[in-house]
Structure 1
Amino acid sequence: MKTPTDTQAREWLRGMFDAAIASAQPAVCLPPHLPTPPRGRTVVIGAGKASAQMAQVLEAHWPAPVTGLVVTRYGHAAACQHIRVLEADHPVPDAAGMAAAQQMLALVAGLTPDDLVIGLWSGGGSALLPLPLPGITLAEKQALNQALLRSGASIGEMNCVRRHLSAIKGGRLALACSPARVVNLVMSDVPGDDPLDVASGPTVADPTTLAQALAIVQRYGIALPPAVQAALGNPSSESIKPGDQRLGPIATHVIATPRHALEAAAEVARRAGLEPIILGDALEGEARDMGTVLAGMARYTASTPSARHRVLLSGGESTVTLRSTAPGRGGRNVECLLSLALSLKGLPGVYALAGDTDGIDGLEPVAGAIATPDTLERAAAQGLQTTAALDAHDAHRFFGALGDAVVTGPTGTNVNDFRAILITAPG
C-alpha cells in the first residue's frame, strides 16, 4: 500500500469515527432487546443524551399502547407520539431537569405487578435528572456538580456522590416503580459498562455507601455547605441496596458499549487495508497525561518498520482538572489530542482523531478534532501558542483556528470517547 495523502488519512480517521457512532445508534441496538409486552400498562422512563432517540425507536417497534417520559439535553430531542420528551441542561443540572425528575416519579406512582416499566438510560442522564434530597437546594447541587467536574474525579466517583444526594438516583426510582416489573435498556458511556454509573443508576440497586461518597469529596478537597455535609452523614440518605425486599423484579441489559463502537471502527480500518489494534475501551486518567502516553505508544509503533499502516484505537473517559482561570474553550478529547500533538512534535506519518461519540466534547457543539504531522507547524504560522492553549484548556479554539475541528451535531447516541491514531509510515 502506498503512503496515503493527507486527505486520505483524514478520511480514514473520520470514517472510523462515523462507523463507531453508527454502530451505537438506537435503531440498530435497541429493537433486539425489547421485552414482551405486559398484561397491564407499559410506562417508558429514561434520561440521557440518547434517551429521546431511544424512545422514538421504541415507539416504532412496540406493539402495544405506551406512555412515558424521557429527558434529554437541550438540542437532542426527537419527535415521539406517546412518550413525552423534555429537555434540560448538561453537564450542570438546571430547574427543568429537576421538574422532569419530579414528573417522572409521579408518573410511576401506583403501578401494579401486571405493569411494565422500560427504562431508557444513556450517558448524561445524571445531570439531566437532578432531584436533591430534602434540605438540599438545587443551587447547592449545581455548585457541587461544578466542583466535581473541575476536580478531576472519575465518572464513577462523581456518580457515587450524586447518588447519595439524590431523591431519584441510586435505585430510588426503581423503588418508586415497585411492584411493577422494570426492564432497563442501557447505552453505556462509562468504563466497565456498569449500569450503576450510567445516569447514576436511578433504577438499579446501589452497593456503594455514604462513607465512600464522603471519602471522595474529602479526597478532592471539595468544600461542602452544611446541608450537604449533614446529608452525607445521615443514615437515612443511604441509597437502595441490592437485595432490598421492597424492590420489584428488575432486569438490566446493556445494549451498546464503547467496545462495540471500537470494533466497528476496526472493521472500517481493515477494509482500508489498515491493521487495527484496540488498546482498550476503558482508558481513564487526566486527559493531557493520556495524550502523552498515547503519543509514546504511537512513537514506538512508528519506529517499527512492520508497523506501516497501523491504527491504534481506544475508548473510555478521561478527566480534566482545571488549572487555569482563563476562559478557555476546551473538552477532554481535544485536550488529550493537543497534548498528543505536542508530545509527537510533528512526527512524520502520524495522524490522530479524538472525539466524543455524542457529538459534544465539553460544552462546545463540536465532537472533537484531528491532529496531523504538520499541526504544530501550521499553528506556529498562524501565531498560535500551542503550550499556552493546552495550559488554558483552550484546545477547541486552537483546532478550530486550524480548520481541524470535527463537527457532527448531536449524534443520537453516546458510548463515550473515541480515539484513533493512524501510523502511515515508520518514523
Structure 2
Amino acid sequence: MPNDSEILHALFRAALDAALPDGKFEGRLPAIPKGRTIVLGAGKASARMASAFEEAWTRHGGTCEGLVVTRYGHTTPTRFVEVVEAAHPVPDEAGLDAARRILTLAREAGPDDLVVCLISGGASALLSLPAEGISLADKQTINRALLKSGAPIGEMNLVRKSLSAIKGGRLAASVRGAQLVTYLISDVPGDNPSSIGSGPTIPEAVDPEVALSILRNYSIDVADSVVAAIRANALENSAAGGVVHMLATPKMALDAAAVKAREFGLQPLILGDAIEGEAREVARVMAGIAHSVVQHGDPIKAPCVLLSGGETTVTVRGKGRGGRNAEFLLALALKGEERVSAIACDTDGIDGSEDNAGAWFDAKLLDDARVRGINLASYLVNNDAYTAFAQLDCLVITGPTLTNVNDFRCILIRP
C-alpha cells in the first residue's frame, strides 16, 4: 500500500485531470457558420480551453480566430487564437487592454458569424474594463479590499459586475446578431453560470444598491463618483445570452478522486462541492467529522477519505504568508486527530498569491513540528500557514495547472 503522501497526491492529480477541458468539446460543438468563428475568453484555464477547442473545431473542418486572456504564467500554445497574459487577482493594464480588444471583436461579429466564449475562474480580474466613471485604480483598490475582507466569492463577483463594462452579461449584449455559444469551467459553489468569471455572457439584472450594501457591510469606502457610476451601470436585460455548456465542475473533480480512492481500497465520502466559510471554521467542522469516524466509525468506517470542494475565505489579520487552503489545513492539523492525514489545494495551482497549490500533512506532523521547535499555533494566528508548511517540507507545488474548479480537500483516515 502506498504511503499517505502518495495517496493524497494521487487523488489530487485525479481531480485535476478530470477538470481539464481536453476532449470535452466533442458532442457540444455548434454547426460551422457561414462566416467567421471568433473565439473570445478569459480565466486561468482559458488558454488550455482555447487549445482544446481548436483541436476539436479543426477536426470537424472549422477554422477560427480570436483572443483569450489568462493569468501570467498560465498560457499554453495555440494555433489560431491569440493568448495574452494579465494580472490576477488584482487587475492591471494588460487585462484592461485585453478586455477592450475582446469587446471590440465581439462588436465586429455579424449575423453569419459564430462567437465562442471560453470562461473560467479568474476571468473577473483578468477581464477588467471599468464602467464609465470608474478608473482602473478604483477597481484595483476595491478588489484588494474585498480580497482581505473575508467576503464570499459570490458577493465579490456581484460587486465586480457592478463596476464593469464587460461582465454581468455586457459582453453578450455587445455581440448583437451573431450566434453565441459559451463554454464554462466552474470555480464557484453551486456552478451558477452567472457567477463564473462574473458572467460576461450571462446577462443578469443586478441591483446596484445590493452591491453598495456589500461594500458598506465590509467597511469598504468608495468615492461618491464611484457610487454614482455603480448606480448608472445597472443592466436591465436579464435574458439568457446564447447557448451555455459546462465543461468541468468541482463535483466532476471530486467524483474522479472518489474513483481513485477506491483503487487504493479506501471508501470515499463526498461531503459537498460547494462548502464556503472561514477556512478555520470549515477546518473545525471537518475535524469533528474525522473525529467521529475515528471514534465511532460514523458517518463512514475507516479506511476512508472525506472529500470536499467549494471556496473558503480568510479574513486577514496577521502579516504572514498563506492561502485559504494552507490555512484550512493548518487549523485541521492542530486538532491532532490520530490516524488522520490530509491535503488541501487550489486546483489552479496557486493558493492565494504564493507559489504553492496548497499543502498536506500526515499523522507525524505535530511531532515533527515539536522536534523542530515550530509553534504551529502562532503561525495560524499570524495567517502564516505557508511558512509553517514550508519549514516542514509539506507544501504542494504544481505550477499552473491550466484549469480551475476551486478548492480540493481530502482527509485520509486509517483504521
Normalising TM by the smaller chain, what interval?
Answer: over 0.9
CA contact (8 A) 2:194 2:202 kept: yes
State the alpha-carbon separation in 2 of the partners of residues 373 and 169 from structure 1. Answer: 45
The corresponding residue for 2:354 is: 364
Matched with 2:334 is 342
Q: Give the distance between the partners of 2:209 and 2:246, measured in 1 at CA.
A: 28
**RMSD (CA atoms):** 1.4
Equivalent in the alignment of 2:87: 89
Look up the match of 1:129: 127
Q: Could you tell me how far 1:240 is from its partner in structure 2?
A: 4.9
Q: Relative to structure 2, which stretch is displaced further, 25-34 or 94-103? A: 25-34
For residues 108-138 of structure 1, the C-alpha deviation after alignment (integer angstroms, 9 at most, x for no partner) is: 2232222111110000010001111122111
Does the residue aligned with 2:23 lie in a helix, a strand or coil? helix
Matches within 5 A, 1:3-402: 8-62=3-57, 63-232=61-230, 234=231, 236-243=232-239, 250-305=242-297, 307-324=301-318, 326=319, 328-343=320-335, 345=336, 347-402=337-392
CA contact (8 A) 2:23 2:52 kept: no
Q: Which amino acid aligns with 1:290?
A: V
Contact preservation (8 Å) 1:283, 1:317: yes
CA-CA distance at 1:207 after TM superposition = 3.4
Comparing 184-193 with 205-214, which one deviates more in the overlay? 205-214
| Deviation of 1:416 (Å) | 0.5
Aligned residue identity for 1:49: K
What secondary structure, in the 3-state scheme, does the structure 2 residue paired with 1:292 have?
Answer: helix
- Distance across 2 between alignment mates of 1:58 and 1:24: 15
Residues 28, 205 of structure 1: CA spacing in aligned structure 2 closer, same or farther, 3 A cutoff? same
- C-alpha contact 1:31 1:57 (8 A) present in aligned 2: no
Does structure 1 conserve the Cα–Cα contact (< 8 Å) formed by 2:205 and 2:234?
Answer: no
Identity within the alignment, % = 49
Alignment: residue pair count: 410
Q: Distance in 1 between matches of 2:28 and 2:404?
A: 18
- The more displaced of 91-100 and 378-387 is 378-387
- Aligned 8 A contact 1:163 1:239 in 2: no
1:225-261 CA-to-partner distances (Å, cap 9, x unmatched) read 22212223x3x31025323xxx8x6011111000000
- In structure 1, distance between residues paired with 2:205 and 2:413: 43
CA distance in structure 2 between the partners assigned to 1:207 and 1:155 by the alignment: 18
**Which one is further off, 103-112 or 191-200?**
103-112
Q: Match of 1:421, as an amino acid? A: I
* Runs of 4+, deviation exceeding 6 Å: none
Superposed displacement of residue 29, structure 1: 2.5
